[in-house]
Amino acid sequence: MSFEGRDILTTEDLSKEEILEIMNVTAKMEELCRTQHVSDLLADKVAAVLFLEPSTRTRLSFETAIKRLGAKSITVADAKTSSAAKGESLADTARTVEGYVDCIVVRQPVIGGAKEMADAVSIPVLNGGDGAGQHPTQALLDLYTIQKEKGKLGKQKVAMVGDLKFGRTVHSLAYALAPFEPAEYVFCAPDILQMPDDIIGDMADKGIACRKTDAIEEALQADVLYMTRIQKERFQDPAEYESLKGSYILNRALLEKGNKDLTIMHPLPRVDEINTDVDALPNAAYFRQAHNGVFLRMALLAMVMGRA
Ligand code: CP
């Protein structure tokens, strides 16, 4: 199975075998980091890291992954400092940068924008988040985390809580876990922030039981609880955001009502949806989850550049 030259744009187009291969290579990268601080696997490669929306984890873990593999990077960390601010199209940016590097990692606000770039170039494009669309590298590191925390990927009840409408991480996670036959998806959100109908329809077509609720107590009975932030930046009406913020706040007292083996995840950043009194619990996995992002992104970079 070769990933050389391949774009990673969504999780919908990844097969179970391909995801398992990515998990295997990620585990090897974790081992590599334990035994060898920096490798020279990609020493002759340069990657562009174009972030036209804010990021801490995705950008910095990609940058770390690039450095740990011995590659070099060129970076845009602020849309205002690139010619996107002058109105340059994503396709023109991609065609220009293709002349400089071997691979592009991009985050930008338009759904489908990463595909637009990928269609314009022949080097691999990795989608680091396209607006309220998809965030495939996050979902893959989420799977790696679930595998490590629970010892398996499939046959578990997975609850996703918060902003399921605008939250690209949960869109990608729903598709990424689907081949592993989850026991059930529990989608917990205020009505107007529920999981989009097309995604629920796709899950139903795959035979996955999906339950919609606005009661977090139901979500707490799952095996994996995936909390998300209400995505303030996606609301056109600030008053609507104000009315929805703080809809769900997880704390130790609330967790007393839940499954004792619940694994708590969050793509981060959080605002107030997980109280800091949860952080020290052994099943609070969200910072371990963020750390796994380096290994997963090392794996993807090496695979799409033909070195894994
Ligand atoms: N999880 C995630 O995408 O975080 P950042 O926005 O900080 O990259």
State in Å: Cα 207 to ligand 1 middle. 30
Q: Which two tokens stand for residue 132?
A: 């309220």
pLDDT digits (tens, 9 = 90+) for 173-195: 999 999 999 999 999 999 999 99
93 noted as active-site residue: no
Distance in angstroms (rounded) separating the CA atoms of residues 44 and 69: 10
State in Å: Cα 162 to ligand 1 middle. 16
Beta bridge partners of 126: 8, 105
pTM given for the model: 0.96
- Which residues of the chain are modeled with pLDDT < 50? none
User: What pLDDT, on the 0 to 100 scale, is given for residue 49?
Assistant: 98
User: What pLDDT, on the 0 to 100 scale, is given for residue 308?
Assistant: 86
User: What pLDDT, on the 0 to 100 scale, is given for residue 268?
Assistant: 98
Distance in angstroms (rounded) separating the CA atoms of residues 33 and 184: 35
User: What pLDDT, on the 0 to 100 scale, is given for residue 215?
Assistant: 97
211 noted as active-site residue: no
User: What pLDDT, on the 0 to 100 scale, is given for residue 37?
Assistant: 82
Decide if 148 contacts 174 (C-beta within 8 A).
no
Say which DSSP state 11 is in.
S
Pocket test of ligand 1: the residue of 135, 138, 268 to mutate, having most ligand atoms within 8 Å of its CB, is: 268
Pocket test of ligand 1: the residue of 58, 234, 288 to mutate, having most ligand atoms within 8 Å of its CB, is: 58
Name the closest-CA residue to atom 1, ligand 1: 267
Decide if 127 contacts 137 (C-beta within 8 A).
yes
pLDDT digits (tens, 9 = 90+) for 90-112: 999 999 999 999 999 999 999 99
